[in-house]
Chains A and B, each alone.
Chain A
Amino acid sequence: MASVMAVSDNRDRADAVRAHGRAPLRSARRLVERRIERYLRRSPYRLFPDEVVVRHLVNRLARNLVEHGRQYCPCRKVTGDRAADRPNICPCRTHHDEIARDGHCECRLFVSREFVAPAGHGPAEKAAAGDE
């Protein structure tokens, strides 16, 4: 996983530079979507089951890619310290633990296969999934 992520980071950096140079947000959005699709193919997770939520998160990831050069999590602060922010490049380093604990990652882009999203959220989600 670490070597895959390293290759992915180098490719991401080059892609980000290219994305930033032309029609930045649209290109960045397409790039983010491709990366998410690629990740989903090899991960045990799926996307949050609501199109509006996912579209917004993809837009925010794309915006971070354009503004910061990296696909930072839309729900975490970008400090500007590359080393400190690196763990928050989507998918975040902590997303496995978050999904195991809550059924979803911090921003709720990725969810477990068992995740059920009623319109109610928070602890009720865990109860609905039988985690409590």
Chain B
Amino acid sequence: MTLAIGDKAPDFELPGVDGKNYRLADFADKPALVVIWSCNHCPTVKAYEERMVALRRDYADQGVQVVAFNSNDVKRYPDDSFDNMVKRAKDKGFGFPYLYDESQQVARAYGPAVTPEVFLFDRERKLVYHGRIDDNPDSPSAVRKRDLRDALDELLAGRPITTAQTNPVGCSVKWR
């Protein structure tokens, strides 16, 4: 099942590309948590990587935490291996935890269908926005709806989220 708006973020404990293990509680002091289901191979993720890095950079001073997960089956998609995650995070300068969900248990708890797919949680870790980053994977300059950023701005300003759900765009999560 996929999380519904208002659901609490399921806990996790996963290894990151920096050699540390991360749990949900590690981000307890952050006013907002942006969870992005991601991977290394998907062309749509690649199209969004700069925007993900920019998001982290632009909202860091407001305490927003970005975390990315990769749950893809590495047997079918060797490009999505942990070693390649380390390399990708370094090459692209992610600056946020990029966690490896090898067993896919965390993915089954959150319920993403594609990469990239966003789950935005408030301070209490209730889901307030779910779906896509924006409405144009192919052309950042042609984006008309900055769905995730708009939801984040509303959350941080204490306003209701205007659009809480959108259809995420990308490649399907590669289940075992």
Closest 10 CB pairs of A and B: A121-B113, A119-B165, A120-B2, A75-B171, A50-B167, A124-B2, A122-B113, A122-B111, A59-B138, A56-B137
What 1/0 flags go to A103-132 for Cβ under 8 Å of B? 000111000000001111111110100000
Give the Cβ gap from A95 to chain B, nearest Cβ, in Å: 12
CB neighbours (8 Å) of A59 from chain B are: 138
CB neighbours (8 Å) of A56 from chain B are: 44, 137-138, 169
Give the Cβ gap from B104 to chain A, nearest Cβ, in Å: 11
- Which A residues contact B (CB, under 8 angstroms)? 48, 50, 52-53, 55-56, 59-60, 74-75, 77, 106-108, 117-125, 127
Q: How large is the interface on B (under 10, 10 to 19, 20 to 34, 35 or more residues)?
A: 20 to 34
B136 touches A52 (CB 8 A): yes
- Which B residues contact A (CB, under 8 angstroms)? 1-4, 41-44, 77, 79, 108, 111-114, 117, 130-132, 135-138, 165-169, 171-173
Give the Cβ gap from B1 to chain A, nearest Cβ, in Å: 5
In the bound assembly, the distance between CA atoms of A75 and B111 in angstroms comes to: 19
A to B CB contacts below 8 Å, 6 in the list? A52-B169, A55-B138, A56-B44, A118-B165, A119-B167, A121-B2
